Structure 1
Amino acid sequence: MKTEVPYFGVEAYVAGWNLTIAHDQQSFTTMWVQRGPRDQLNSILAGWTADSGATTGCYNQLCAGFVSTSTEITPGFLVRPTSVYGFEQYDSKFLIYQDRPTGNWWLVVSKDNKFVGYWPKELFNNLISGTETVAW
């Protein structure tokens, strides 16, 4: 979704599936916020990949600047339990939002609102006052 009126967050409930994929396949789920012209685009993505970000981008602690604030849920944690086709489905809530007083962008996970950490506002020049695009 893209708008002229800024968004200040994005939230989604996402099911984690116990998939079997071939070595030349990948599976990922992401949600993100972004803003700026193409040559100066600022993006924040959260989600998980089957290859730990090896070929799908900078994930987890491989990205400089993310400040972890939780010892319970950290970047790279495994989503458990996983859903299996034909059986019970499990999902987790993911939320990326801008804390208006500080300008920092927070990552919150689970239905219990566990604060994982934040991306300091100093990392961005185009995400200072919200975002124009949110996606899932």
Structure 2
Amino acid sequence: MLETTTKLDAEAAVAALKEAVEAQGLRVAAEINGQANAAMIGAEVPVDRILEVFHPRYALRVWEACKPAGIDIPLRIHVWSDGEQLHVTARRPSEVFAPWGSADLDALGAELDPLFEAIVASLPEVA
């Protein structure tokens, strides 16, 4: 698991993550705003955002290696608050793909791990 705690506020962290995703040659396929969704039912929750990240060129490789593994893409980056600090977590692609037992997916996971590590590491950490 990739994890960091950042000194940025939620909006700045999400914006920085989106820039880092693009810098790594990936795309944000979707953004889920848990706070906004909770507000629709009258609930108030701390920051909870999910960025779904991938790229079509990698999706093709997943499908070629193991079509059922398509359930695991896009990969996710979770931005959340415990009320005091802003946290960012993501599973390494190699962790996500490992259960499929595919050498091709293992290779893809190993290729993508450094990209996701760089994305999470791009945020300034709490000192």
User: Normalising TM by the smaller chain, what interval?
Assistant: 0.3 to 0.5
TM-score (norm 1): 0.31
**Which is helix-richer, 1 or 2?**
2
TM-score (norm 2): 0.32
Bigger strand share: 1
RCO comparison, higher one (Cα < 8 Å, 6+) = 1
